[in-house]
Amino acid sequence: MSTTASPPPARAAVRPPRAGRPNGQWKVDGTEPLNANEVFKQESAPLGVRERIEDVYAKHGFDSIPDDDLHGRFRWWGLYTQRKPGIDGGRTATLEPHELEDRYFMLRVRSDGQALSPAALRVLGGISTDFARGTADITDRQNIQYHWISVEDVPEIWRRLDTVGLETTTACGDSPRGFLGSPVAGIAADEIIDPTPAILEIKRRYIGDPELANLPRKFKTAITGHPSLDVVHEINDISLVGVVHPDLGPGYDLWVGGALSTTPRLGERLGVFVTQEQAADVWHGVIRIFRDYGYRRLRNKARLKFLLADWGTERFRQVLQDEYLGYALPDGPAPAAPTRPSDHVGVHEQKDGRFYVGAAPVVGRVGGNTLTGLADLIEQVGAESARLTVHQKVVVLGVPADRVDELVAGLEPLGLTARPSLVRRSTIACTGIEFCKLAIVDTKDTAAAAIATLEERAGDVLASLDTKLEINVNGCPNSCARIQTADIGFKGQLVLSDDGEQVPGFQVHLGGGLTSADREEPGLGRTVRGLKVTADGLADYVEKVVRRFAADREPGETFA
Ligand code: SF4
């Protein structure tokens, strides 16, 4: 049951900027650019690079791309250069970015929480097979991410995506990134409100809007109406979370200012109630506050969380209402604590009597054959579509009751399982050293090997645990895979082996977590002094923790 509550106090301190110096806030200091990023964004509209990619760079190749486009504006269309193979993590900090970079790109396609039809899955699979050497990962922001993309192939990729309504628009860059949406929107029997109309309206009005394409930094959005709180709403710049107002009915609770990275901060409630019809306006108001008042001088102080830390929720709400909406929003209730897992893994009945089935790849790796095979399987069993989740999983929607077993069996040969072990279900990993220029250690292969080892060595213990155990593996301190909100978060760094050699490894963060069925209050995990593991020792460490927890736990005790 929801309860009306005032916004909670700030949960993590963020140091305010020094007084007296301009911080590049457009409405306070003017629009004079204060760093190189601000210069290139003002010199030429970032979204305009698409035309040059299509007309010039795709025809004349990698060497025809000037620096400002290659390392700047390409991001606004989801393109980053990837890391050259074979450069170890010890050299990440010593080489210039261009020395680390390959002539190929990572390309991110936003799904925005929307259902992917078999046709869309085939297009996504075909792009992987034809242009990305078979790569395709589900990211923890419900994107599909490819590698090995050549600039020559980008126009054809965009053409194919366009045929099924998919896009890479502002999938990266200082812009509104891909939205997180409930994977069971519109179908779950226990849904409070279907966020699909709000997401589609915001997309229709504002994605690709040049007025919102020069923000101080990235701007992340999450929208859900499901009581499991399935979009990690506490760590987005803006989140709309389904609640029922005692007088006004279903709508959303508004959260702002969450983000992780190296200065993590959980988002805060403004304490207002937003109707479905107001959602797009409110989103537009918050993103314009960020555009107009966000700090632009230092990039590591530019996320919305720093502005919120200075303003506080009361002032933020006031500015939103007075300067951007022109009306007051009513007070509203907070979301109730969830009573079921938010990953949607397993078989669940929909409100229409059909079923949805959540399935786990290994650390989000799907690849072209899996995506195409999934499209075939969905059609074969008469299901409808699939959505991606923030846990790097897939949910198949609209499965007829008498075909559920066939679907579940058909997922296994595709590398997807609806009955994953606890560690396969719980582990996510960022891109890591295989392709990321900032990485210090490998993540995906390390995590996959650890999962296989743990399943073999500790399968009985894992099967006996009925608690969530989130394990998030990151290749550097940037926390793309949410180091601080995991039960066990691994932060990539070089560590000393028993022989005193520097080897790839991880700093361990323990005890973090977002609000879930296992945990009433979110909290950031803490590093334990000196607790580091080598990459080779990751499985041993997790096994030790899991076995000790299983041996010592009280009945019903959760890992959180
Ligand atoms: Fe790259 Fe670091 Fe982000 Fe991983 S956490 S994807 S290594 S920047």
Question: In this predicted model, what pLDDT tens digit does every residue of 223-264 receive, in sequence order?
Answer: 999 999 999 999 999 999 999 999 999 999 999 999 998 899
Query: For ligand 1, atom 3, which residue shows the shortest CA distance?
Result: 480
> Which of 87, 139, 392, 438 maximizes ligand 1 atoms within 8 Å of its Cβ, making it the mutation to test the pocket?
438
Determine the atom of ligand 1 nearest the C-alpha atom of 478.
Answer: 5
Would the CB of 372 count as within 6 Å of ligand 1? no
DSSP-derived 3-state class of residue 279? helix
Determine the atom of ligand 1 nearest the C-alpha atom of 441.
Answer: 7
Q: How far is the CA of 431 from the centre of ligand 1 (A)?
A: 6
Would the CB of 364 count as within 6 Å of ligand 1? no
Q: How far is the CA of 169 from the centre of ligand 1 (A)?
A: 21
Q: How far is the CA of 352 from the centre of ligand 1 (A)?
A: 40
Q: How far is the CA of 410 from the centre of ligand 1 (A)?
A: 33
Tell me which residue of 276, 275, 255, 274 sits closest to 266, measured CA to CA: 255
Determine the atom of ligand 1 nearest the C-alpha atom of 481.
Answer: 5
Which pLDDT score, from 0 to 100, does residue 557 have?
85
Query: What is the length of the chain?
Result: 560
Which pLDDT score, from 0 to 100, does residue 5 have?
38
Would the CB of 106 count as within 6 Å of ligand 1? no
Model confidence pTM above 0.90: yes
> Which of 83, 476, 493, 506 maximizes ligand 1 atoms within 8 Å of its Cβ, making it the mutation to test the pocket?
476
ipTM confidence:
0.99
Determine the atom of ligand 1 nearest the C-alpha atom of 432.
Answer: 7
265-294 as b/e, with b when 16 or more CB fall inside 10 Å? bbbbbbbbbbbbebbbbbbbbbbbbbbbbb
Tokens of 325: 């909406």
User: What does each C-alpha distance from 335 to 176, 241, 279, 323, 489 come to in angstroms?
Assistant: 25, 7, 17, 27, 26
Which pLDDT score, from 0 to 100, does residue 530 have?
79
Would the CB of 475 count as within 6 Å of ligand 1? yes
**Rg of the chain taking only CA atoms, in angstroms:** 23
Would the CB of 139 count as within 6 Å of ligand 1? no
Tokens of 473: 């593996």
Query: For ligand 1, atom 2, which residue shows the shortest CA distance?
Result: 476
Cα-based angle 375, 379, 384 (whole degrees, multiple of 5): 85
Cα four-point dihedral sign 432, 435, 440, 441: positive
Q: How far is the CA of 231 from the centre of ligand 1 (A)?
A: 20
Which pLDDT score, from 0 to 100, does residue 555 have?
84
Would the CB of 476 count as within 6 Å of ligand 1? yes
Q: Which portions of the chain are predicted below pLDDT 50? A: 1-14
DSSP-derived 3-state class of residue 12? coil
Q: How far is the CA of 427 from the centre of ligand 1 (A)?
A: 16
Would the CB of 431 count as within 6 Å of ligand 1? yes
